[in-house]
Chain A
């Protein structure tokens, strides 16, 4: 009943607004989920710190523009580079020493890295929310009629996501580096024997995944300007879920999963306003359903463990 009421009350303009919200949130999830899926594809580990890498990228951009007054365009490029480096450093420091350790140790190390980044941000930047700087044009609202306004960035986010995805798929499918990455994710040992420098491939994977996260983080900051040290936690968990929903290890799957979660989350709240308190629960319910009915995810392949 309430659903129909909510639906009936919805004008075309407000529907457009919900769709814009959903698509932009979905795109942001997709950008972050790519990093999870790439790392999992190669190292078979959940990079718990990935959400916190997003958070750090937001702070990098914040400091570049607000504190050091670097032009926003330069800051964004700097942020992407710095975040990629951060991803590589985390892998070197926290994951590489445990390459041959039991899987649970790596998982704990990843949690430790995540917790360290959160606490470090809290210590260095304080826990008070900071306001992500307004970016000319992108932060402005555009009136779409019916008294509804949509932020300009909402139109830009999907475009940038698609461009990034195309570039990434080109790298993975048509370059030598990409071939090495696919080889390592297919069979770690054989790739090593074939003379592929595993360490380099892993570093590049972390760099690319973190760069994608940085692009996502910048757009995130413009869209949702309140930044705090815990900002990356919930998106991080949800984006891992998105990667699992799409089929872990599969880049297109991560994007699909990101859109399903982002759109789903926004539309459920739009149609069932009384459920808005449970918004964050949506992703985990989807996770349980997908693991139950299709554990390999929507686009994942079935594998059999060798005994």
Chain B
């Protein structure tokens, strides 16, 4: 059963076609990667899926836990997040001036049932919800060794931990589908290796489906069940890691890319 399916989504900015008739599907519990040279339209694809952009044409379909097929094309990003799609950003977008703890607690807000009056007056119903949220955030932060640093400002963390925090913040929304935009960007091989294990671990632990954009080929080849390759907005290949590695068109598209990456 697919969790995410895009039906020929196209994004056009003025005369430029950033993504052309992209058709992907991501099945439950899969890890699927979207790769391609810089400027291929990968992040634009993410932005269409998460509602930041409304596709010029085509539709995005999402299947929720109950198995309902929902057309999420052009819905508000916040509504899409509420349906169970969480994401991270290529150029880390943490709430910089807020503490590590607040960053993750904010992600719990979308599940809050209490209205602002109940929350302001700290009525029992709200307090109960908050206690649960706090417990779950504590668990999450401990799992990535950020609990000790919970009162630090997010911007004060080292780069690698900021990446982890961003993923944890996304996890706190309790997603079914997690979109990771270049999670290993700027990481050294050792950190990348740890991240690979981490992604796999959260997938199993939280029963996630993961769709990611990445340039680190080691990570992509090791982790992905399937891969889509984008070049100039067009899908030039798709398949399992093996077949992608041997695909002539992919190799051509990437020539010269690997040296400076």
Contacts and interface: CB of A to CB of B under 8 A. Distances in A.
B89 interface: yes
Contacts of B53: 304
B116 interface: no
A304 B12 CA distance: 11
A307 B13 contact: no
B52 interface: yes
Q: How large is the interface on A (under 10, 10 to 19, 20 to 34, 35 or more residues)?
A: under 10
Contacts of A304: 13, 53
A307 B91 CA distance: 9
B61 interface: no
B43 interface: yes
B47 interface: yes
A169 B47 CA distance: 38
Interface in B205-239: none
A307 B52 CA distance: 8
Nearest to A301: B14
A296 to B, nearest CB: 14
Contacts of A307: 43, 47, 52, 89
A186 to B, nearest CB: 13
A304 B47 CA distance: 12
A interface: dominant SS: loop
A20 to B, nearest CB: 42
Contacts of B89: 307
B166 to A, nearest CB: 14
A307 B42 CA distance: 12
Nearest to B53: A304
Nearest to A305: B52
Interface in A261-307: 304, 307
A40 B23 CA distance: 41
Interface string B47-60: 10000110000000
A122 to B, nearest CB: 38
A298 B13 CA distance: 20
Nearest to B91: A307
Interface in B26-60: 43, 47, 52-53
A42 to B, nearest CB: 22
Nearest to B44: A307
A307 B13 CA distance: 14
Nearest to A302: B14
B137 to A, nearest CB: 26
Contacts of B13: 304
A307 to B, nearest CB: 5
A296 B237 CA distance: 39
Contacts of B52: 307
Nearest to B89: A307
Contacts of B43: 307
Interface in A198-243: none
B14 to A, nearest CB: 9
Interface string B231-250: 00000000000000000000
Nearest to B181: A307
A307 B88 CA distance: 12
Interface string A67-94: 0000000000000000000000000000
A304 B56 CA distance: 13
A266 to B, nearest CB: 39
Nearest to A304: B13
A304 B16 CA distance: 13
A307 B87 CA distance: 13
A295 to B, nearest CB: 15
Interface in B3-35: 13
A301 to B, nearest CB: 9
Interface string A176-195: 00000000000000000000
A78 B52 CA distance: 52
Contacts of B47: 307
Nearest to B46: A307
A304 B13 CA distance: 8
Nearest to B93: A307
Interface in B83-105: 89
A211 B258 CA distance: 55
A57 to B, nearest CB: 40
A44 to B, nearest CB: 20
B13 to A, nearest CB: 6
A304 B18 CA distance: 13
A304 B52 CA distance: 10
A307 B47 CA distance: 8
A31 B43 CA distance: 43
A87 B168 CA distance: 49
A307 B89 CA distance: 9
6 contacts: A304-B13, A304-B53, A307-B43, A307-B47, A307-B52, A307-B89
Interface of B: 13, 43, 47, 52-53, 89
A-B pairs, top 6 by smallest CB distance, nearest first, are A307-B52, A307-B47, A304-B13, A304-B53, A307-B43, A307-B89
